[in-house]
Amino acid sequence: MPSQPVLYDMTDDHGKKVPALIQTTKMGQIFVLDRRTGKPVTKVEERPVDTNGAEGEKLSPTQPFSVGMPQIGNTTLTEQDMWGISTFDQLACRIDFKDSVYNGLYTAPGEKPYIEWPSLLGGFNWGVSQLMNLLA
pLDDT tens digits, residue range 67-121? Answer: 989 888 767 889 998 988 999 999 999 999 999 999 988 899 989 999 988 877 7
| Cα distance between residue 2 and residue 28, in whole Å | 10
| Cα distance between residue 33 and residue 39, in whole Å | 5
57-59-62 Cα angle (round to 5): 170
Question: pLDDT at position 62, please?
Answer: 97
Question: pLDDT at position 47, please?
Answer: 96
Give percent above pLDDT 90 in the chain. Answer: 50
Question: pLDDT at position 121, please?
Answer: 73
Asked if residue 20 lies in contact with residue 10, where contact means CB atoms within 8 angstroms, the answer is yes
Asked if residue 110 lies in contact with residue 101, where contact means CB atoms within 8 angstroms, the answer is yes
Question: pLDDT at position 123, please?
Answer: 74
Domain chopping of the chain, boundaries: 6-135
Asked if residue 20 lies in contact with residue 41, where contact means CB atoms within 8 angstroms, the answer is yes
Mean pLDDT of the chain: 87
Confidence of residue 60 (pLDDT cuts 50, 70, 90): very high
| Nearest CA among 124, 34, 8 for reference residue 73 | 124
Q: Residue 97 belongs to what H/E stretch?
A: helix 87-99
Q: Does position 50 have pLDDT exceeding 60, yes or no?
A: yes
| Cα distance between residue 128 and residue 4, in whole Å | 6
Q: Does position 126 have pLDDT exceeding 80, yes or no?
A: no
